[in-house]
Structure 1
Amino acid sequence: MSQASEKRHFSHRLRDTNSAFLPARSPGSAPVRVGFVLLPHFSMMAFTAAVDALVTANLVQSTPLFTVSSYGLHGTAVTSDLAIDIAANHDLADLPLDGDQALDVLVVCGGFRCDLSEQLLLTRKLKLANRREKVLAGLWNGAVALAHAGTLDQHSCAIHPDNHSFIRERFPRVQVSNQAMVVDERILTSAGPSSALEMMLMLIERLHGRDTVRAIREILSSDRLADSSETRLALAEHDTALPEALRSLLRLMNSNIEEPLGIEELAGYVQLSRRRVERLFQAHLQTTPSRYYLELRITQARRLLLQSDASIANIAVACGFVSSTHFSHCFKDFFGVSPSQARQLRKS
């Protein structure tokens, strides 16, 4: 492999961060169509958590992976559990399960105060979706609608604890799980907002792989709690799975973007040999220290380029490149377009 073509590939840590800005891969299959049926008093948190995963999946890839639509039981106005009226895209009667616009995934979004009685039109839609071998999902107590349609018979399901007794009494052929989510081949259920997000991430991983999910998590978990007393940004330098010496090296690199340190200098700061530093990077980040440092600086440059009006020359200096020409060549090696083209594309 030539050096020029090798430069087009980020190591796995920074590949996820930059995935949405990399050259588009060859066209694949059409986006997966996901439809949400919003029951009256549905859980806004569970719904938005699930949708957030799908929308973010589209943001971390150069081509859309999913389309999202919503459906109300009786018209398009639906009241959420927060007493906020939401305008669904369509009425349930218009939910498509055949033809070019047919949904691939159908999700029923319930909530703490949702009516658990059978909705006949929804039951018919779910039965038809099941016959068409669509993926079916339930959020909070959305599994109750799946049970009414018979799609959970002899299956295990996750549902909010408040509804466990109801399911056991009303649907004896459905197995109630004590897990927060249950993901089978075609049926996915979750008991609340956090598990709704995780359930959708599992679906995304199944369809589009771990790299896509890692990129989504990097965005959605950027302020996750590291312990009971401190909120820390989810950066590689905070990753407790990495050795402390490597995290110290990453902190040094992040703190010295404009004037990059040499590998010998980095090694001296952490009192390790150059060879030991190189082994740490190769073992845990699958790249060399100099390569990772370059990727870190080009990532910082990409952010400044697309998020500020600073000149390309000033960005090059701020990110430790010896000249605008050198920066432009490196940027194009990674992203397939020049800095000025990238800025123009972002504005279009």
Structure 2
Amino acid sequence: MTGHKEKRNFSAKMRDANSAFLPAGSTQSEPTHVGFILQKHFSMMAFTAAVDALVTANLVNTSPLFSYETLAVDSSPVISDLGIEISADSIINDASSHKNLPKILIICGGFRCSTDAHPALSMLLKEAAKQGVIMGGIWNGAIPLAHAGLLDNLSCAVHPDNHAFMRERFPHVTTSNQVFVRDNNRLSCAGPVSALEMMLYLIGQIHGKAIIRAIREILSCDQISESSDIRLNQVIDDPCLPEKLRDLMSLMAANIEEPISADELSGLVGISRRQTERLFQHHLETSPSRYYLELRITHARRLLLQTNDSITNIALASGFVSTSHFSNCYKDYFGVSPTLARENR
């Protein structure tokens, strides 16, 4: 008999929900630095959506993936469209004072932002282009890029209110009807929702699709359906999954404390055990028993880190027959014992 089992890895669906609590990888790179240029009357909602994507990326990883700073065009603090002022980390004067620019620069616009050219901003953006900086515009943040000549023969997205201006003022720029456009290393979007999507695209380009799924696991919980039926989104709501599979997943989620056997689960939804196994393997790339265990260990992790209940009670509430079995499973997945995880929370 061997001793302790080797570490377990979560299947894809459950890994997204637990990524922030898994052991760090062997190699850690420096965080990618992002700069947000705040124009007067910038859209606070669009700005915070973009920043939220970066902050959440850091939350779902064991080490920071991004750092960010804010830059004012003229003076700080900068007033937003809501009348709320943001103190910028620095003020744009000229390009000579920005030799080490962030890897990514995002220009934050808004409904009342000026469409006039700003010489200091244009100078900074041209310097950024020379340094190979990735640049993006939010709402009408693409307009300063166009003034700097950095969108010539490229496509961009801006708020519909600015389409006529863009087409009249910049004939060499294609103003798209899409809400988010990526062309070369220029990105642009038309509003708050597309600002989030633009940042998720950038994050995915740097760190891969897995981190995007983990971010969406947190940020997409309250999307409103077409029927305006407001309810929390969960994995079982994925319309791409077959109805029988979603029924099985719902039954598992509703029976955490007293797990149901595989045969009983299959009988409750009217299919055979073999059909159940095929559904899980084909759509979730895991077995029903493994998914059920990961669902329960995830439930336990939330109770462990969010409540002060005893480890024994948490084990029982998560369907484990003993505290020792729970502790072994927890350590297999998260690399630390439940006791140490609670101490480090």
TM (normalized to structure 1)?
A: 0.95
Q: Percent identity?
A: 56
2:5 pairs with 1:4: yes
The 2-side partners of 1:297 and 1:226 are apart by 28
Q: Secondary structure at the match of 1:223?
A: coil
- Matched to 2:5, the amino acid is A
- CA offset at residue 224 of structure 1? 1.0
Who is 1:98 aligned against? Answer: 99
Q: Deviations over 1:255-296 (max 9, x none)?
A: 110111111111111121111111111011110111000000
The 2-side partners of 1:48 and 1:169 are apart by 31
- Matched to 2:54, the amino acid is L
Who is 2:201 aligned against? Answer: 202
User: Is contact 1:53–1:197 with CA below 8 Å preserved after alignment?
Assistant: yes
- CA offset at residue 199 of structure 1? 0.8
User: Is contact 2:20–2:62 with CA below 8 Å preserved after alignment?
Assistant: yes
The 2-side partners of 1:106 and 1:86 are apart by 18
Q: Secondary structure at the match of 2:19?
A: helix
- CA offset at residue 185 of structure 1? 3.2
User: Is contact 1:181–1:195 with CA below 8 Å preserved after alignment?
Assistant: yes
Q: Secondary structure at the match of 1:189?
A: strand
Q: Deviations over 1:46-95 (max 9, x none)?
A: 11111111111111111111111111122320110111112222222498
- Matched to 2:46, the amino acid is A
Who is 2:267 aligned against? Answer: 268
Who is 1:153 aligned against? Answer: 152
Who is 1:62 aligned against? Answer: 62
Change (3 A) 1:93 1:78: same
The 2-side partners of 1:3 and 1:292 are apart by 21
User: Is contact 2:46–2:193 with CA below 8 Å preserved after alignment?
Assistant: yes
Who is 2:254 aligned against? Answer: 255
The 1-side partners of 2:225 and 2:112 are apart by 33
Who is 2:14 aligned against? Answer: 14
Unaligned runs of 5+ in 1: none
Who is 2:81 aligned against? Answer: 81
The 1-side partners of 2:259 and 2:279 are apart by 19
Who is 1:129 aligned against? Answer: 128
2:281 pairs with 1:282: yes
Q: Secondary structure at the match of 1:4?
A: coil
- CA offset at residue 225 of structure 1? 1.6
- Matched to 1:9, the amino acid is N
User: Is contact 2:94–2:123 with CA below 8 Å preserved after alignment?
Assistant: no
Who is 1:38 aligned against? Answer: 38
The 2-side partners of 1:47 and 1:198 are apart by 12
User: Is contact 1:97–1:103 with CA below 8 Å preserved after alignment?
Assistant: no
Who is 1:340 aligned against? Answer: 339
- Matched to 1:130, the amino acid is A
Q: Secondary structure at the match of 2:225?
A: strand
The 1-side partners of 2:26 and 2:75 are apart by 40
User: Is contact 1:35–1:107 with CA below 8 Å preserved after alignment?
Assistant: yes
The 2-side partners of 1:177 and 1:97 are apart by 31
The 2-side partners of 1:213 and 1:20 are apart by 13
- CA offset at residue 3 of structure 1? 9.2
Q: Deviations over 1:108-134 (max 9, x none)?
A: 101111111111111111000000000
The 1-side partners of 2:93 and 2:320 are apart by 58
Change (3 A) 1:94 1:27: farther
Who is 1:316 aligned against? Answer: 315
The 1-side partners of 2:104 and 2:219 are apart by 22
2:183 pairs with 1:169: no
Judge which range, 224-233 or 337-346, deviates more. 224-233
2:185 pairs with 1:183: no
- CA offset at residue 97 of structure 1? 4.5
Q: Secondary structure at the match of 1:248?
A: helix
The 2-side partners of 1:184 and 1:24 are apart by 34
- Matched to 2:282, the amino acid is A
Q: Deviations over 1:189-225 (max 9, x none)?
A: 0111111111111111111111111111111110112
- Matched to 1:89, the amino acid is D
RMSD in angstroms over aligned alpha carbons? 1.6
- Matched to 1:15, the amino acid is R
- Matched to 1:49, the amino acid is A
Q: Deviations over 1:301-320 (max 9, x none)?
A: 00001111111111011001
The 2-side partners of 1:288 and 1:309 are apart by 32
Who is 1:27 aligned against? Answer: 27
Who is 1:144 aligned against? Answer: 143
- CA offset at residue 230 of structure 1? 1.1
The 2-side partners of 1:109 and 1:227 are apart by 29
Who is 2:217 aligned against? Answer: 218
